[in-house]
Amino acid sequence: MLFLYDAGIRLYTLLIALVSLKNKKAALWLKGRKGILERIETSIDKNKRYTWFHFASLGEFEQGRPVLEKLKADHPETSIVITFFSPSGYEIRKNYALAEHVFYLPIDTRSNARKFVSLLNPTIAVFTKYEYWYHYFEALHDNNTPLYIISGIFRKEQAFFKWYGSLHRKMLGWVSHVFVQNKESKELLSGIGVDHVTVSGDTRFDRVEFNAKNPIEIKVVEEFCGDSPVFIGGSTWAEDEKIISLLLIIYPKWKFIIAPHEVNTDRIEGIEKLFSNSVKFSSIQKQEDKAQTNEAPQVLIIDSIGILSSIYQYGHIAYIGGGFGVGIHNTLEAAAFGLPVIFGPNYTKFMEAVELIKNGAAFTVKDSDELKLQMELLSKEENRIKSGSSAREYVNSNTGATQSFLNFIYHKDFN
């Protein structure tokens, strides 16, 4: 099994190298790892003991961020090192102020992992949600470094619980403690003999609650919205945008904000063609906000990264993209602001989406007709307020995972 794992890692790296010839993200992934261990060796102060946080991408960073920030506030002497697997996390957070160093995670080979752990010699290591790397886990175990998984979520279809999952189960044996989001995850782990588990919840709730209480003011978005009711399409894909576009003629008094999941020239140009009476966020920022028609633009296209979580403060209804693809994106950011949430049919793997629906705070649609029906219902203020209040209450009632984890490690590792 380990042979297949190592072969898979090398094959993935080779494919990235091939794709990088035409794909900017893949090129960044490859370039960022060139000579990475040498750069780490020259950067690290071996007299310091570091706390290592690893995140797959930007979403996982935001998930683990409340833990990192509270730890740094409680223990300012702690030196933080962050690693990312994906360029979408590293490129945006490479200058993050609370981290002493931010690196790409070197490719998971035995030699890379052992050298990295030896150089860093972390006090503890914290991995978030889905990140499991065999050689890093083994190297941390051999180095006697406590390793924690936070906001873990497990499902019976995962390899951990299959006949062929011995390698995955071995990795869990090297984890000092697993903090999971729900009791179902704990029960699944117990079934394979993993009992060092605590149900603490999801740290994302702490993050989105903080964000809703401390949003960043975005003046140009506020001015675009004015006094109009606002429909926000967050992390959308082309399939989402097509059905949203059919609402504009039905609701001419509403303003629409479209924040695509991927921001690149082709995507933005495609959205501009679909929403003719639109203006780009970057154009408003440069005061080039004259619409292509004689009337004020009805649609604002967000062609900037990292501001969606604060844009929700200006909304009345949120549509979260991804539900017509592999799965929906972050529903909690909008829910924390008290917005009713709509998304496509592929949501069942996301516990928070299922529970938001159960609480009357979210609604799923399978086509444009169902979206029109939900919009008709939520355009009525009393329905919107009721669902939005349920959304906010759901978020507020599920906070506390950050402190649960920190209480544990303060007792064990920060005496």
What residues are annotated to the active site?
A: 60
Contacts of 75 (CB under 8 A, 6+ apart): 414
Strand-pairing partners, residue 362, are: 341
Distance in angstroms (rounded) separating the CA atoms of residues 33 and 338: 41
Distance in angstroms (rounded) separating the CA atoms of residues 25 and 266: 15
Q: 285 to each of 263, 279, 304, 319, how far by Cα in Å? A: 17, 11, 11, 24
CB 293 within 8 A of CB 277: yes
Q: 77 to each of 100, 322, 381, 391, how far by Cα in Å? A: 11, 41, 50, 38
Contacts of 230 (CB under 8 A, 6+ apart): 254, 255, 256, 257, 314, 315, 316, 317
